[in-house]
Structure 1
Amino acid sequence: MWSAQDVARDQVRRQANGLDMAAVAEKVAEAAVRERETVEQLRRGGSFSEFEADPERPAAVWAARHVEWQRVRDLMARAGWGEYEPERDTQGSKWAQEREERRDGALAARAAFEARRREEADELRAELWLSAAPSRLVRAAADRAGLMPAQVLAQLAERVVVGEDGTVSVPPFTPSR
């Protein structure tokens, strides 16, 4: 759901909160080392984790973290901040808001998908083969109502009544749109 830049920006924003310039400079240096290490490990074909689906992802995240730590360092130097405060970082705040909006959209889409799946679990899809006589009756009723035969059968099924003794019946009705 999140790109390497999104992950890096989120992590740096949280970790940098309250850090002074010297601590941020250390984070820049650490990120540079980790970026080199992950790129080298990737070149050697080494695995970062057995659970990592994309072997290039950790290297991309460390590269993005390095860039983000540099951005925070440069912002603090330009603005003359003694320590980093995420709320004062307008660009970082904008990116955080965009991430939250994407996250909320993804969660809403997932919830809608799950709701459709639950609904579909209650649905019954069937292929029905009728002999000639009942088939002609259903087709005639469908033609009179201007419907497809499957629509008449669906309306028929919606009106099924099951008696206490297990008998199945359908009260008389006229198929309609």
Structure 2
Amino acid sequence: MWAAEDVARATVRRQGEGLDRGQVAAKVAEAARREQETREQLRAPAPVSELDGLREDPERLAAVWAARHTEWRRVAALMEQESWPVYAPEQDVLGSEWAREREAVRDGALARQVAWQKEQRDARDELQAYVWLPADVSRRLRAIVARTGLTPEQLLAQLADQVRLNDNGTLAVDAFAPR
């Protein structure tokens, strides 16, 4: 779901909290080294023995390390520019803005997931029926819905809601006004 840049920004923000300039410089160097290593791994064919298992996609890994390198460099430059002795994510205006955007996207995705799950649960409780009616019944149904402003499905649903089963097994509907 997340782009390599989003993953890198969240990781750097989490790992960088409280690091001084020297430690951030070490993170920049590590990210540069790992970015180079993952690029080289992309160019070199992997032995067949390394292809099995649940390893991360090498292209994705290379993109994440490139994004981390970029983000660590941004943090280092920000610390230098602002003369911060240590990195404080809450003072990083741009990083905080990105974090809020990620949270908003995440919250939206979670809300959509919850709504979809509810829709799926509700759909299990619904009954969808296709009814073939004789021509004369169909004409009466169309005339009633034309007067009431309902759809045929809405009228039939209201009719079904009014039906009661008698002790002898017959169905009965008292007179009612469609709403």
| TM-score of the aligned structures, taking structure 2 as reference length | 0.81
Q: How big is the shift at 1:2?
A: 2.3
Alignment of 1:16-165 (within 5 A): 16-44=16-44, 46=46, 50=54, 52=56, 56-163=59-166
Does the residue aligned with 2:67 lie in a helix, a strand or coil? Answer: helix
**Separation (CA, whole Å) in 1 of partners of 2:3 and 2:158:** 48
**Separation (CA, whole Å) in 2 of partners of 1:41 and 1:81:** 36
Question: Which moved further from structure 2: 163-172 or 27-36?
Answer: 163-172
Q: Deviations over 1:135-167 (max 9, x none)?
A: 344344334435443333222122233456765
Q: Deviations over 1:103-150 (max 9, x none)?
A: 112222222222222222221111111234543443443344354433
Q: How big is the shift at 1:14?
A: 0.6
Number of residue pairs matched by the alignment: 175
1:35–1:156: structure 2 CA closer, same or farther, 3 Å change rule? Answer: same
1:142–1:77: structure 2 CA closer, same or farther, 3 Å change rule? Answer: closer
* Amino acid of the structure 2 residue aligned with 1:50: L
Residues 19 and 83 in structure 1, CA contact (< 8 A), matched pair in contact too: yes
**Separation (CA, whole Å) in 2 of partners of 1:45 and 1:162:** 73
Q: Deviations over 1:27-64 (max 9, x none)?
A: 11111121122222233465697375x65322211111
**Separation (CA, whole Å) in 1 of partners of 2:108 and 2:58:** 27
Question: Which moved further from structure 2: 111-120 or 29-38?
Answer: 111-120
Gap runs ≥5 in structure 2: none
| TM-score of the aligned structures, taking structure 1 as reference length | 0.82
